[in-house]
Structure 1
Amino acid sequence: MPQSQPPRHPPSNQFHPTNPTASNQPPLPCFSKSANLPDFLLTALSLFLFITAPKHHLPPRALSLSSPPPSTNRRFLRLTSTMSQNPNPNSTAFPTPQSLSDWLKPRLPSDSFASWGTKPGTKNVHNLWLELADGETSLVDKSPPIRNLEVVCVRVLYNHNRVLIESHQELSDGSIRKRGRPLSEKLKSGEDIEAAVKRAIKEELGSVIFRGNEMGNVNFDQIVRVLMDSYERKVEERVSVSYPGLPAVYVLHTVDAFVEGLPEGEFATEEETEYEGCDNVVADEAVSVKRHFWKWVPVDFV
């Protein structure tokens, strides 16, 4: 009885058109030297087949940073993750406030953008341009854009049972902006937290601290004590009051501090250095804070 022959299997490297996973790409056809085709035609045909073969082995093309993949998490996580995916079109991209305005206009609701600097308590595009130029703010290119910034919040304490809050501000356009929060200031790019706390105290409370004294006669480091052990950090996402229609992600750095020589009752301070060192022409067009109004409240109020 003749032995049954085992079934024949195609070579492992044979191309299976119905099973694309069997091989990354079809093998190049092999022509013998005895073929009645000129050598150059064989070479050209082989090259053509190689170029047109599917490139399954290539990795997928990277996603464009201008279109970050949507997150499946909640909106807050989507915004914070976008901060690292989509770098800021920083101040070098906007040589003038007008160029920034032209960039923002098609990306923001028209009624919201039109209220910048005209609605009481808001700021204008010159303010945002100065923030970008000074390294205090960055923007994520989305519609609407997302404003990213870091802020120090200083809880100035009095006898451990009261904390200083800013009740409201008087702006350069004559409007009043309600606050109801502790002293706060935007960090500059790369600025140390403790240095930012001291700068914030000096800028916003300095007119009271140094009142009646020459600045050289007051040792600022002796009258201001920053309690870095109290440091807390959190992230908040909300639409900015200063720039209606522009969502913002705030990284808040909260620190307690003691400041000697402050009045025990309600008082006001003047700020003269909000845009010190900035373009004077642009600063003159920006809405600035002229006076801060302060009061002491119980610690558990904040």
Structure 2
Amino acid sequence: MFPPPQQPLTNLPSLPDLLLTALSVCFLVSSSKSHIATTRCPFPGRILKIPAMSLSSSSSTSAVPPRRHNFASPQSLSEWLKPRLPSESLASWGVKPGTKNVHNLWLELSQGETSLADSTPPVRTVHVVLVRIKGKDAKFLVESHQELSDGNVRKRGRPLSEKMKPNEDPESAAVRGILEELGSVVAAANAFYSRVEDIVTIHPNSYQMRVEERDSASYPGLPGCYVLHTLHATVQGLPEGDFCTYEVDEYQGDFHHKNVAHKAVSVKKHYWTWVSADSLQT
């Protein structure tokens, strides 16, 4: 049995300072041909290991500006997608358990978390930070599953992950993801700390980057190019056993964004467990 979740974290003093220090990390433009089988990411598949202290300089020199689509509404995005995706695939978005809908994709695009190549099918490129949080007995924290706003459960089996925002470096994205997804337990356990740095430690020289090409589980039929930035971290105050947390403001923005967010499929609860290093999937 999971213990009752704590109330969500609503304020942590040093988060704005961390976010303001984020250096420029741009999304990479996807280019593709007319079939999924021949779709290619802008990067060849590779793994780079770079010291954490050099992340900003590396990102600023290798980043490529994304191709942006300024869709006025989710409806205009849907109309753009219809001739570019199989109708049965698009119709399954938000209907098939565990999938998201066109409102989710529109929010990702409008907030700069995702770019789409103008191709058939379009290729969705997204930068994701994966945070391997180390606990006691050399175990790592893994999200086992999520409870969604539509009542469905989505299996995960991976470390904490967060889509990166424009002008955000991997370390800042990692800290933001920790606060958003684990904040409801971190706040209660670390009430006497005044700085984020006292709670979250990013391990030096742990940074790795790799690129994966695969179809999106959230958006069936939409091929994806995932630029994965992996970091190791330690977080004070996490339970030693299984636990769950509330998501804190998955979608933010002005009134228009919040209105669209009500129609999107959002994460309500995260369920976590500790596993050995050789059990990590990513």
TM tier relative to shorter chain: 0.7 to 0.9
User: Residue 229 of structure 1 is aligned with which of 194, 202, 205?
Assistant: 205
CA RMSD between the two structures: 2.5
Q: CA deviation at 1:281?
A: 1.0
Q: For residues 70 and 242 of structure 1, what CA distance do their matches in structure 2 show?
A: 22
Give the structure 2 partner of residue 183 of structure 1: 160
Aligned ranges 1:250-289 → 2 under 5 Å: 250-278=226-254, 279-289=257-267
Q: Which runs of 5+ in 2 are unaligned?
A: 1-30, 45-62
1:163 is aligned to 2:163? no
Q: Please tell me whether Structure 1 or Structure 2 has the larger radius of gyration of its CA atoms.
A: 1
What's the offset of the Cα at 1:194?
Answer: 0.8
Distance of 1:226 and 1:213 partners within structure 2:
17
Q: How many residues align?
A: 228
Does the 8 A contact of 2:85 with 2:120 survive in 1? Answer: yes
Bigger Cα displacement from structure 2, 114-123 vs 221-230: 221-230
Residue 202 (1) aligns with residue 179 (2) = yes
What's 1:79 paired with? 41
Deviates further, 266-275 or 151-160: 151-160
What amino acid is aligned across from residue 97 of structure 1 in structure 2?
A: P
> Secondary structure of the equivalent of 2:134?
strand
Give the C-alpha shift of residue 177 in structure 1: 0.4
Partner of 1:55: none
Correspondent of 1:120 among 84, 87, 97: 97
- Per-residue deviation, 1:227: 1.0
TM-superposed CA distance for 1:75, in Å, is: 3.9
Greater RCO (CA < 8 Å, at least 6 residues apart): 2
**CA apart distance, 1:232:** 0.5
1:261 CA drift (Å): 0.3
Q: Is the 1:235–1:250 Cα contact (8 Å) retained in structure 2? A: yes
Shift of residue 280 of structure 1? Answer: 1.5
How far off is 1:265 after superposition? 0.3
Distance 1:241 1:162, change over 3 A: same
Instruction: Specify the SS of the correspondent of 2:107.
Output: helix
- Find the aligned partners of 2:186 and 2:153 in 1 and give their Cα distance: 24
The residue aligned with 1:4 is none
What is the Cα deviation at residue 272 of structure 1? 2.5
Q: Which residue is equivalent to 2:67?
A: 88
**Match of 1:293?**
271
CA distance in 2, matches of 1:134, 1:260: 30
Counterpart of 1:240 in structure 2 is: 216
**TM-score, length-normalised on structure 2?**
0.75
What amino acid does structure 1 have at the position aligned with 2:100?
A: K
- CA distance 1:86–1:203, shift in 2 (3 Å): closer
Picking from 75, 90, 93, the partner of 1:98 is 75
Deviations 1:251-290 (A, max 9, x none): 0000000001000000000013101225111010000000
Task: Provide the TM-score with structure 1 as the length reference.
Answer: 0.71
Tell me how far apart the structure 1 counterparts of residues 164 and 106 of structure 2 sit (CA, whole Å). 16
Deviations 1:68-110 (A, max 9, x none): 7969xx946x33269x9996242x2x01110000000110011
Q: Deviations over 1:144-172 (max 9, x none)?
A: 10000100000000136100000000000
> Following the alignment from structure 1 to structure 2, what is the Cα–Cα distance between the partners of residues 124 and 245?
12
The DSSP-based 3-state class of the residue aligned with 1:228 is: coil
- What is the CA distance between 1:193 and its match in structure 2? 1.3
Alpha-carbon separation, structure 2, partners of 1:152 and 1:114 = 29
Tell me: CA distance 1:117–1:175, structure 2 relative to 1, closer, same or farther (3 Å).
same
Matches within 5 A, 1:105-144: 105-144=82-121
SS at match of 2:94: coil
Q: Distance between the aligned counterparts of 1:69 and 1:225, measured in 2? A: 39
Distance 1:160 1:80, change over 3 A: farther
Q: Which amino acid in the other structure matches residue 88 of structure 1?
A: R
